[in-house]
Amino acid sequence: MELSDITTPALAYLGDSVLEVCVRTYLTVERGLSTSAHLNRASLDFVRASAQSEAIGRMEPYLTEAEASVYRRGRNMGHGNVPKSASVAEYRRATGMEVLFGYLHVTGQTERMNYLFRLGYGLTNPDENNT
């Protein structure tokens, strides 16, 4: 299967799961959280549309041309169900970020994905590891 065969909604769906794994890995391995109550509460700071919108804003200046194109593809996708907790703009940006992470996963760019995750959430310096 070619990347072009994967629909934008499918990349967003996959990217949502990929981001969830990034968050869970960070919270359990690096932060050492171990109870489900602590993990669920802490994960909200990463997975809300508003948090993802802010994160992609920090990533955008560091995206390659291909990554920016994939992000825009997701951001510009039609959105029917915007949650009450987010603006339409935040939700569109969050969806674009999910599409980007789906793309990075499908193309095997794990190091790049981890770098952008850490960059987006302020967990690394932009110059630390720009792969």
* Predicted TM-score of the model (pTM): 0.90
Q: Indicate which residues carry an active-site annotation.
A: 16
Q: Is the separation of the CB atoms in 23 and 43 below 8 Å?
A: yes
pLDDT of residue 81: 73
For residue range 53-98, list pLDDT tens digits in order. Answer: 999 999 999 999 999 999 999 998 876 676 677 788 898 999 999 9
In which residue are the tokens 């990075």 written? Answer: 104
Q: How far apart are CA 46 and CA 34, in angstroms?
A: 17
The pair of three-digit structure tokens given for residue 98, joined into one six-digit string: 């999910």
Q: Is the separation of the CB atoms in 8 and 74 below 8 Å?
A: yes
**pLDDT score of 131 more than 60:** no
Mean pLDDT of 123-131: 73
* Domains assigned to the chain: 7-120 (1.10.1520.10)
